[in-house]
Chain A
């Protein structure tokens, strides 16, 4: 059996990093859009 542990670890790290970065981007977009809506509402109230 060939030693392929490094390749396996690399693949899992790459996949997990992509999922984590995408999750963070979703969370940031959600937060930014809610803040934008809130500021529009504030401006309208004034």
Chain B
């Protein structure tokens, strides 16, 4: 049997490695994932046992360490989706489309974590699970729906080039929301979200211990983000290999 190379190989400008069997694709969850899991476990220990609680919010403030890191990881994944979408529209390289898809799926996971943890925090601190008039909340929910729509759209279109082209447009639009979400606390008076305490001009408004945990959480969840994206990309490669092998086998039989 000759397994067909992944589609798009002939379109790509530079010649690149195209796996032709499952053995050439490394396991989805590899050493990077193991390192990320250990780092997350270490962060949990530091945040829960070795970082002091906030004087006003108490233990609920520790939700920040997973909530804000989840949002930043989601932003990174959405930004890569948009970047890869632009690369696909420009070069028609299928690897860019595959990476954009992987990033969008991982972004949805981090967005879901961000929404859930934020809601639990808001229930205790604001006294409400959700506040519709807070622009940051509404815009982040909108981003969740746009990313979900991106994945639904990909599932709905069978023709690969059309699927990649249409979803690339949606991927770019999703990233355009990020600056508005980030600046919404400055732009709109209708808000409950606090102003930035660490990522702001001037000295951070938190103790050094909290700041170290806070900044570590960004690094740790970015690592998990990259490990997830890499794993999801490899699954995309395997899926296309399986489809190509089945098509090839079907023609041969």
Given A18-B116, A26-B232, is A11 in contact with B67 using a C-beta cutoff of 8 Å?
yes
Cβ of B60 and Cβ of A7 under 8 Å apart?
yes
What is the minimal beta-carbon distance from B206 to any residue of chain A, in angstroms? 16
State the A residues within 8 Å of B (CB).
1-5, 7-8, 10-12, 14-15, 18-19, 22-23, 26-27, 29-30, 33-34, 36-38, 40-41, 43-45
Cβ of B28 and Cβ of A12 under 8 Å apart?
no
Could you say which of A5, A14, A33 contacts B117, with CB atoms under 8 Å apart? Answer: A14
Could you say which of A2, A33, A40, A44 contacts B235, with CB atoms under 8 Å apart? Answer: A33
Cβ of A33 and Cβ of B70 under 8 Å apart?
no
27 contacts between A and B (CB under 8 A): A1-B53, A4-B57, A5-B59, A7-B120, A7-B123, A11-B63, A11-B117, A12-B48, A12-B63, A12-B66, A15-B70, A18-B109, A18-B112, A19-B224, A23-B29, A23-B33, A27-B28, A30-B29, A30-B238, A33-B242, A34-B22, A34-B238, A38-B22, A40-B242, A40-B245, A40-B249, A44-B249
Could you say which of A4, A5, A7, A40 contacts B246, with CB atoms under 8 Å apart? Answer: A40
- Interface Cβ pair total, 8 Å cutoff: 113
Cβ of B59 and Cβ of A37 under 8 Å apart?
no
Contacts of B75 in A (CB 8 A): none
Please name the residue on chain A nearest to B112 by beta carbon.
A18
Contacts of A23 in B (CB 8 A): 29, 33, 228
What is the minimal beta-carbon distance from A33 to any residue of chain B, in angstroms? 4
Q: Binding site of A, secondary structure by majority: helix, strand, loop or mixed?
A: helix
Contacts of A15 in B (CB 8 A): 66, 70, 113, 116-117
* A30-B27, A33-B242 known, 15 other contacts, Cβ within 8 Å: A2-B60, A4-B60, A5-B59, A7-B120, A10-B120, A11-B121, A12-B44, A12-B66, A14-B117, A15-B117, A19-B113, A23-B29, A23-B33, A26-B235, A33-B239
Cβ of B66 and Cβ of A43 under 8 Å apart?
no
Q: How far is the CA of A28 from the CA of B49 in the complex (A)?
A: 33
Q: How far is the CA of A12 from the CA of B62 in the complex (A)?
A: 9
Could you say which of A1, A7, A34, A43 contacts B121, with CB atoms under 8 Å apart? Answer: A7
What is the minimal beta-carbon distance from B110 to any residue of chain A, in angstroms? 9
Contacts of B21 in A (CB 8 A): 37, 41
Please name the residue on chain B nearest to A45 by beta carbon.
B1
